[in-house]
Every structure is written in structure tokens, then in C-alpha cells.
Structure 1
Amino acid sequence: MKPRKISQILEERMSGHDWNFHYDREKETFRIEDPLSKKGITIGLNEIAARYETSKEQAIDEVVYHAEEALLAMKKEGTLDGKEKAVFPVIRSTSFPEKTSEDIPLIFDEHTAETRIFYALDMGKTYRLIDQAMMEKEGWTKKRIKETALFNLRSLPASFKEDRVAGNVFYFFRANDGYDASRVLNESLLESFKERISGTMALALPHQDVLIIADVQNETGYDILAQMTMSFFASGRVPVTALSFLYEEGELEPIFILGKNRANTPKDGKEE
């Protein structure tokens, strides 16, 4: 389905709200905005079009649901005080905007060459990314936000499903709480898997709602992980990266899996 057609469907589905809609043909984006506050969200239509190829109407349903929840949440006054237990880290790609639509800097930290860590205030069915204005208004510091978010992350359940393919073991974290990929920041969790794994430990963060940890026992395992990662990346609501990572000595190192049964590490891919 063409991006323009998707924008028309989205506008029709959300026409019951008093919102403004704008389709940007050049950027292939669709902007939904509250006319009073001028706050809103911008949706990349090419990503939706790609997901529509595999998920059909489910892709549209998910976008409508999350867009409506996000716009309605913007009408509520987000506050950090008294909500310390609702602050969490979220993983995004390095191409993710560093500022809000109002040009306010978002609070984030560098993670790997492919990913960054942003911080969010959980508001139930959605969350709001914490920006500099919000932080300063409430007298918080970036250090406090980071420490609070990582502490809360460690309290999340770490349930997973296991799958074995061609002698390799893959573990999937999919709690669908918005913080599945964020669990990669739980160092004790990664170390516990490092002890469990007998082969090479690799992992993937294709989108925000999944973390894949792999026990790679043979060369075929790299190919399988690459295929899984690309499939999840193409279908994710918030894609992060199609690259996989090696986990060595507490660090994540992006790897390119080239051709069949070959994994190469880029010289400049090591986490800073």
C-alpha cells in the first residue's frame, strides 16, 4: 500500500478527534497534532507500508491505537515527582530525533554505535519521553533520571521463551510492556546468560518490543540470528537496528553477518 493511501486511512480512522492532520509528501510522514497545545506526533509512513505487507490491517490498527493513546496522554500534565517508580529507559536507534516537535532537547545517553538510551515516564497505556524542560521544571538531574530508570528496569520480570534451531539456542524476551529491548541494559541479566551460554553470546535489538539473546554454537547460528533480526526489524512498531551484537567482557559490539556462515565485526563498531 502506498504511503499516501495509508495517511488517508489514518486520518479517516481518527477523524472523530478534534486533531489536525498533515501529510508530507516529500518526507512521506503523517503529522497528527492537537490544535490547542500544538503538540503531536509524526509517523513515518514508509515503515507502516513495509509492515502492512506482512501484517495487513493489524499494522494500521496498532498505529491508530498507539497514536490515539499518545495524543490523549499529551493532554495530561506529566510530572516526575511522586512518579519515581514510573521512570524507565527506552532503546532507540541513533537516527531517532534528539528533540521534541517543539524543539526541546530530549534526555538521552549514548549506548552503542547503533543505539541510544532515552528516558520515559510511564503513563499506563503509553509513555512520555522525558525532555530537558520537564527535567528542569521539576528540579531533577540527568544523573537522577538515569539511576532511577535503571533501578526500575531491574524490577521488571525477565521471563523468556526458548527456541533451538540447528544446534543453536535463542532466547526471546517479549513481555510487550514497552521495555523489552531495554532489558539489554540490565547487566546482571546479561551476565546470568553469559554463565548459561556455552557457545558465543550474541544478541539483537530489532525493535523496542523484543530482545533476542543467542547461544551461537556453529556458523549457521549467525545466519539464523541475522534472518530473525531482519524479520523482527521489518515488522516492529518502533524499529531499532537490524544489526546483531556480540556480548564480550560486558560490552556490546555490532557485527555484520555477510553472506552465508560468516560474521565480521566492523573495526569502528566497538562501543565507546
Structure 2
Amino acid sequence: MKMNSIKMKNKLEERFNTNTDWRTSFNRDKDKFRVEWKETGQGISITIPNVIAKYELRGEAALDELEYHVSEALKVMNETHELNGQERHIYPVIRATSFPKKTKAGKKLLFSEHTAETRIYYALDLGSSYKLLEEDMLEAEGWTVERIREVSTFNVRSLANEPKHDRVADNDFYFIASQDGYDASRILNESLLEEMKANSKGELAVAVPHQDVLIFADIQNDTGYDILAQMTMKFFAEGRVPITSLSFIYDDKKLEPIFILAKNRPK
């Protein structure tokens, strides 16, 4: 039988109603299922159609993964964390500019501007998950935004970079997908971008369609742009934390969305 929103809601209720400290609700109009802490109201909203799409591809394994990530995220929401002594575990994370600037509880998230499509947030790594940093966490411990930027940038530079290579229609594509939660964050590693630029034969394009992949494209003909656009859209649609379906040209240490440059590109 074909899966629908009500059936999926029932499946999610079976999984998330086992914790007596949580409550669940279903918004039929928005087609969203929410799991939250009873005491604080903090929680996560899940878009049902997206879950159904993944369920139809992967079955119960998709729900196992969803249950794990939602449970971990809820645990993090209910914990108190300190920054002092945790310098090695602070990382930048890339999000779309549409990502909220505040938590559901109204606390301001710490972030920096990046491009017209992306924004940099900061996270405390907790092993199996991470907590996005809030402004009042800095105030409580005497940290500055600049210190967070420096520490997180240093940490992302220390991550291993082992791109997989694929050549399509005389264009070279490189993928970093280590599944450590910070693949897209590597776009902030300027030395990595400069290395890829120095070794490119054509124009270097960069894409962060979702949190768990960073794509470099050495574009050597017009077909390369079409391939990259299709590839980025596919990754964006499939990502657990989508960021942007647009790609960027990297030149002179700057990232410019390709759709802006395309207006002036000679045919």
C-alpha cells in the first residue's frame, strides 16, 4: 500500500511516543510532525513529504536514521554546555541564509555572514551530534565572536581532506564527503580552496548543496556548467541538511554565485 501522510504520522508516533518526557503533534495543514520536550517546548519539526520520499527509497532504514538524529538533537537541547576547555571541539557550520537566527526558545544564535546564499553558524561538537552556539553562551564565559571565529577556522583547517575524483565530459569533479558533519564547512578552508585553484586547468567552481558534501569542479568546457548544475540540484534534493542548489565560482579568494556570472559569460 502506498504511504501517505497519516500513515507516516502513525509510524513516527510509534517511534517517538516511547519517551514520556517528549510529546508529539501533527500539523495537517503544513504536513509537519513535531517532537518536543514537554517541559520547555523545545523540539524539532519534521516535514512529512520529505520523510515519505526517503522511506520509499530506503524503507525502515530511513526512519531508523531519522529517529537517531532527532533523538540526539533533542538530547542536546536539554543539556548545558561550557566553552572553556572545549576549544578543540568548536567548528563552523554552513547553513542557508533562510536558516533561523534564533532558537525556538527565542535565544539568538551566533553567526557570521558568508555569501548571498550561505551563512556561517558555530557549533560545539559533542561526538555523535553538536550544539549550535548561542550569543548568551559567549557572554556567560567571556568569549568574543572573534575568538570563536579564530578557533573554529583553525579546527576546520585541521580536518582531513581526501576528495574523490570523477571526470565527466572532459571536466574534473572532486567530492569531499567524510560524513563527519563538517564537509560543507571545509569551504571555509582558504588554503584548500587555493590549492584546488592552483591545480585547476579551467575555471574552479565550488558547491555546498548540503551539509555532508563539498564539491569542487574544474570546469573546462560549457558542458561542465550544465553537469555541475544538475549534480548540485540532485545533492540538494537528497541532503539531510540542504544548503543551496547554486554553485560558486572561486576566483581572487572570492565566491560568486554562478547564476550572476552567467549573464556575462560569452557563448
> TM over 0.5: same fold?
yes
* CA-CA distance at 1:123 after TM superposition: 0.6
Are 1:154 and 2:157 counterparts?
yes
- Between the aligned partners of 2:124 and 2:40, the Cα distance in structure 1 is 20
The one-letter amino acid paired with 1:91 is I
**1:170 aligned to which of 161, 169, 173:** 173
Deviation at 1:4, TM superposition (A): 4.2
Deviations 1:4-32 (A, max 9, x none): 44333222112221211122233333221
Instruction: Identify the residue that residue 211 of structure 1 maps to in structure 2.
Output: 214
TM-score normalised by structure 2 residue count: 0.91
Distance across 1 between alignment mates of 2:61 and 2:201: 39
The partner residue of 1:74 within 53, 77, 80 is 77
| Larger helix proportion of the pair | 2
Query: Structure 1 counterpart of 2:18, which letter?
Result: G
SS at match of 2:258: strand
> Residues 164-203 of structure 1: matches in 2 within 5 Å?
164-203=167-206
Q: Which moved more, 1:150-159 or 1:136-145?
A: 136-145
Task: Name which of structure 1's ranges 106-115 and 205-214 shifts more when overlaid on structure 2.
Answer: 106-115
Going from structure 1 to structure 2, the CA distance change for 1:30 and 1:133 (only over 3 Å counts) comes to farther
Alpha carbons 1:253, 1:265 under 8 Å: kept: no
CA–CA distance in structure 2, aligned partners of residues 120 and 91 of structure 1? 10
Q: Distance in 2 between matches of 1:125 and 1:90?
A: 15
Looking at structure 2, the residues matched to 56 and 243 of structure 1 have their Cα atoms a distance apart, in angstroms, of 30
Distance between the aligned counterparts of 1:70 and 1:126, measured in 2?
Answer: 7
Q: Which structure has more RCO (C-alpha within 8 Å, separation ≥ 6)?
A: 1
Counterpart CA distance in 1 for 2:263 and 2:64 is 38
| Residue correspondences, number | 261
Distance 1:3 1:105 in 2: 33
State the one-letter code of the partner of 1:119: Y
**Other-structure match for 1:269:** none
Q: Distance in 2 between matches of 1:60 and 1:46?
A: 13
Match of 2:117 among 94, 114, 127: 114
Which contiguous aligned blocks of 4+ residues in structure 1 show a shift greater than 6 angstroms?
A: none
Q: Deviations over 1:57-79 (max 9, x none)?
A: 44322211100111123333211
Identity between Structure 1 and Structure 2 (%): 53
Shift of 1:56: 4.0
Q: Does the CA contact (< 8 Å) of 1:202 and 1:245 recur in 2?
A: yes
How many Å separate the matches in 2 of 1:17 and 1:265?
54
- Counterpart of 2:12 in structure 1 is 10
Contact 2:17 2:23 in 1 (8 A): no
Task: Work out which of the residue numbers 25, 30, 33 in structure 2 matches 1:30.
Answer: 33
CA distance in 2, matches of 1:210, 1:171: 10
Counting only pairs closer than 5 Å after superposition, residues 34-49 of structure 1 correspond to structure 2 as: 34-49=37-52
Return the letter of the residue paired with 1:15.
N
Runs of 5+ in structure 2 lacking a partner? none
Q: TM-score, normalised by structure 1?
A: 0.90
Bigger mean CA offset, 38-47 vs 92-101: 38-47
Question: Which of 249, 257, 267 lines up with 1:254 in the alignment?
Answer: 257
Output the CA distance in 1 between the equivalents of 2:259 and 2:58: 27
List gaps (5 residues or longer) in structure 1.
Answer: 258-262, 267-272
Change (3 A) 1:228 1:135: same
What amino acid does structure 2 have at the position aligned with 1:231?
Answer: K
Q: Matches of 2:113 and 2:52 in 1, distance apart?
A: 30
Within 2, Cα distance between the matches of 1:248 and 1:53?
41
Structure 2 Cα separation of the partners of residues 84 and 134 of structure 1: 14
Specify which of 136, 140, 157 is matched with residue 139 of structure 2. 136
CA distance in 2, matches of 1:196, 1:12: 52
